[in-house]
Amino acid sequence: MNEAQRLIELIPRLRRYARALVGDRASADDLVQDTLERAWMKLHLYRRGTDLRAWLFTVMHNVHVNKVRSARATDPLEDEMPELAQRGAQGDALMVRDLERSIARLPAEQRAVLLLVTLEEMSYEQVARTLGIPIGTVMSRLSRAREKLRALMLGQGAAAKLKVVK
C-alpha cells in the first residue's frame, strides 16, 4: 500500500483528533484539510518504515500551533472569565458537553498530550516523538491536564495548590 492510500485511511483519526483539539466541526475539517495539504506537499520528507500516523499527527500539531499563534497576534485578548463547568442533571449528554468545554479550557500543550494519549491511544513515547518533547514532559503535562480536568469537571475551577513552607 502506498503512502497516498495510507493518508486516506487515516483521515477519520485525523478528523477525530482535530475535532477534539479545536472544538467545532468546521474548524476541525479546515485543520484536517490544511494538515493533509501540508503532508502531501512534504510527503518526500516522510521516512518510509516509520509510523505514518505519528508523522501526520506531528504535521497536524504544527499546523494547529501555527494557526493559534497567528490568531493570537491579530485577536484582542478577552477580559471576561470563561464560565465554569457545571454538572448537568439531564444525564450523559450534558456531561459530555461539560467535558468538551473543560478540555477546551486546558492549556494547548496539556490538551494535545491528553488527547493523543486518551483519544488516540498513543504511548508516551509516540506522543513525545509526535510533539517533539521529552517523555518526562509528556508525563507531567498529562498529569497536570488530568488534575485540572478533574477540578473543572467538579466545578472547582483552576485553583492553584499552595504548599506551606516553614
Delineate the domains of the chain, giving CATH numbers in brackets: 1-80 (1.10.1740.10), 81-159 (1.10.10.10)
Give long-range contacts, CB 8 A cutoff, 24+ apart: 145-150: 145/106, 145/110, 145/111, 145/113, 145/114, 146/114, 148/106, 148/110, 149/99, 149/102, 149/103, 149/106, 149/114
Q: Give Cβ neighbours of residue 32 (< 8 Å, ≥ 6 apart).
A: 11, 14, 15, 18, 60
Give tens-digit pLDDT for 84-117. Answer: 665 545 667 777 788 888 888 999 999 999 999 9
Is residue 160 scored above 70 in pLDDT? Answer: no
Is residue 134 scored above 70 in pLDDT? Answer: yes
Give tens-digit pLDDT for 57-89. Answer: 989 988 998 888 887 766 555 555 566 665 545
Band the pLDDT of 129: cuts 50, 70, 90. very high
Q: Would you state the pLDDT for residue 125? A: 93
Q: Would you state the pLDDT for residue 66? A: 87
pTM of the predicted model, to two decimals?
A: 0.56
Range of 7-16, 33-42, 135-144 with top mean pLDDT: 135-144
What share of the chain in percent tops pLDDT 70? 83
Q: Would you state the pLDDT for residue 133? A: 94
- The stretch 149-154 carries a mean pLDDT of 89
